[in-house]
Amino acid sequence: MKLSRLIFTILFLFAVWVLLTGGYKDPQELVTGFLVSVVVSLFTGPLFTRRGLYHLSPKRLWGKFVYLFVFLIELVKANVDVAKRVLSPSLPINPGIVRVKTKLTEDMDKLWLANSITLTPGTMTLDIKGDELFIHWIDVKTTDVEEAGETIKGAFERHLGGE
Amino acid sequence: MFLTVMTYMGYLLLFIGCFFLVVSAIGILRMPDLYNRLQAGTKASTLGAMCTIMGIGFLHPAWWVKCFLLSLFILMTNPLSSSVLARASLRSGVKPYKLVVNECERYLNEEKGDN
């Protein structure tokens, strides 16, 4: 378990290094990058991830991949929505704070869900406590926990939870 | 031909990005309270910054990978930081503007009881 965490952190850091430097021509750069990732991983590996290589299982990666597209579409919708609200003279807002329950258990998944909620139309995560998310909703349509959850989380939770 | 298309795409993305950045600035000025301002600010500025950076990537194909990585970082950290700002202000007692429902009051009181 510990080793898997370490390897996952090293792989992740090294991938970022390669992308940032574009250094596939110079072996010296690659070696330096690898050594630095190993040293950093030794210190931060346990903090960075809890499940290690489990995150790289094909099923989870595919889930993340599909999720990215769903998410980008929602992001564009959110921005058009905000632009409409901001630019319309009457400023149509109807804000409220609602509570939503999530079925996700992984901390990383919750983080992604919270991030997605913040970036989708009219909602922003205020706080997470256990399995409850508190959400500031710019245009409240319903106060029911279940119904609000379905409207806000929508497809995200299904894609993120795809294990 | 290909390069021309890339250039046009780049300028188009730059334009869209700038538009959303302007919208987010107007939003911050027009919204009534901190939470609504954060909403307008975060969403529009995230897409705005991403579009601008990707536009630069299209104009300079050599930087494409770096630009992609940068926009990914923005995508991950921007909503997080605004969430943290909102949470901190909620806990330090910034009053929201005219809420329709507020499920938070009970929860904040519970928190106080715990401590």
Residue A49 sits in the same domain as residue A63: no
Residue A119 sits in the same domain as residue A44: no
Domain count, chain B: 1
Residue A78 sits in the same domain as residue A64: yes
Domain count, chain A: 2
- Chain B residues with CB-CB distance to A75 below 8 A: 43, 46-47
Distance from CA of B2 to the nearest CA of A (A): 23
Last residue of a domain, one of A37, A55, A73: A55
Query: What integer pLDDT is reported at residue A154 of this predicted model?
Result: 64
Cα–Cα distance, B58 to B7 (Å, whole number): 7
Query: What integer pLDDT is reported at residue A163 of this predicted model?
Result: 42
**A97 and B102 Cβ atoms separated by less than 8 Å:** yes
- For an interface test with B, which of A17, A124, A140 has the most B Cβ atoms less than 10 Å from its Cβ? A124
Distance from CA of A155 to the nearest CA of B (A): 19
φ, ψ of residue A124 in degrees (nearest 5) = -145, 130
Q: Give the pLDDT of chain B (115 residues) as one tens digit per residue.
A: 777 888 888 899 899 889 888 888 888 888 777 878 888 888 888 888 888 998 998 888 888 888 888 888 888 888 888 888 888 887 787 776 666 666 666 666 666 655 4
Cα–Cα distance, B60 to B29 (Å, whole number): 34
Last residue of a domain, one of A28, A55, A82: A55
**B73 and A20 Cβ atoms separated by less than 8 Å:** no
Give how far Cα B80 sits from Cα of A26, B17, B87, B94, B99, Å: 36, 20, 11, 19, 23
A140: Cα within 13 Å, side-chain hemisphere: 19
Pairing of strands A132-137, A123-129: antiparallel
Interface contact B43-A119, CB threshold 8 A: yes
Residue A67 sits in the same domain as residue A141: yes
Residue A50 sits in the same domain as residue A61: no
Residue B94 is encoded by which pair of tokens? 């910034």
Q: Dihedral of CA B22/B78/B46/A80: which sign?
A: negative
Backbone region of residue A14 per phi and psi (left: phi > 0; alpha: psi in -120 to 50; beta: other values): alpha
Residue A37 sits in the same domain as residue A6: yes
Among chain B residues, the shortest Cα distance to A139 is held by B100
Cα–Cα distance, B111 to B59 (Å, whole number): 51
Mean pLDDT of chain A: 75
Query: What integer pLDDT is reported at residue A11 of this predicted model?
Result: 84
Residue A61 is encoded by which pair of tokens? 């990666």
Interface contact B65-A22, CB threshold 8 A: yes
Interface contact A118-B82, CB threshold 8 A: yes
Write out the DSSP string of A107-157: HHHHHHHHHHHHHSTTEEEEEEETTEEEEEESB-----HHHHHHHHHTTHH
Give tens-digit pLDDT for A7-31.
878 888 888 888 877 756 777 888 8
Q: Dihedral of CA A79/A80/A83/A85: which sign?
A: negative
Residue A47 sits in the same domain as residue A78: no
Which segments in chain A show pLDDT lower than 70?
1, 23-24, 45, 49-56, 140-163
Query: What integer pLDDT is reported at residue A116 of this predicted model?
Result: 79
**B42 and B9 Cβ atoms separated by less than 8 Å:** no
Residue A50 sits in the same domain as residue A64: no
The domain in which residue A28 lies consists of 2-55
The domain in which residue B16 lies consists of 2-114
